[in-house]
Amino acid sequence: MSKIEFHNSTALSSTVLERLCNECIVGWNVGTILLRIRYSRGADFSGTCIYDQRKIYINMGKHLVYPYSMNTHLARSVTIGRRWFKPIYIMKIENGIQLAMFIFMHELYHLLVRRARRNTRQKESMCDRYAARYLVDRFGASVVTKKGKPVDRGDWDIQDLIGFVAGARRKMRAARVPLNVPKSADALTMIGEQLTLF
């Protein structure tokens, strides 16, 4: 069973963050994650995932002012001649909870990639897309260009992120079929606490 050993030393609501993080691991086979949220020593933010120990560290600048514009790796690569580059797309972060959750989802995806036995190298764009998808769906966050122009979701949400880490899904047990229950067409029978449809 997956669970989180949660510790938060920031002023952000532990109740809210712990609930959100636990919601995000439902259905995944990640075991026990040791999650630590703390203030950074100067950087705006950072995150670390230690695979073997299943530790995720979230470091956030106490000095940050919101809304915060976060540079991301969401964009597709653009090729010009023999050179390529990625345009900068910016995630608009409205508060510290959203920043912590972006970092958590980014690092969680790194862990899912490892748990799915995929190559863990060069996955920053996928991790950013997984985190951005969460913020857009859960909080209505926006993605814009450096000039502030809204970016269409189809320009950055471009991969089957869930399918890529399907090997990290928690295997569900098959439901038990009750024995010695008479079968009758269109009969709805309550057996103890179990509702069985025949």
- Does residue 18 have a pLDDT over 70? yes
| Close Cβ partners of 67 (under 8 Å, ≥ 6 residues apart) | 92, 93, 94, 95
| Interval 15-43 mean pLDDT | 97
Q: What is the pLDDT of residues 121-149, one digit of tens each?
A: 999 999 999 999 999 999 999 999 999 99
| Confidence label for 180 from pLDDT (cuts 50, 70 and 90) | low
**Model pLDDT, residue 80:** 81
Residue type, 110: H
Exposure of 17 by Cβ count < 10 A (0-12 exposed, 13-18 middle, 19+ buried)? buried
Q: Say if residue 74's pLDDT is above 80.
A: yes
User: pLDDT tens digit string along 88-128?
Assistant: 999 999 999 999 999 999 999 999 999 999 999 999 999 99
pLDDT band per the 50, 70, 90 thresholds, residue 54: very high
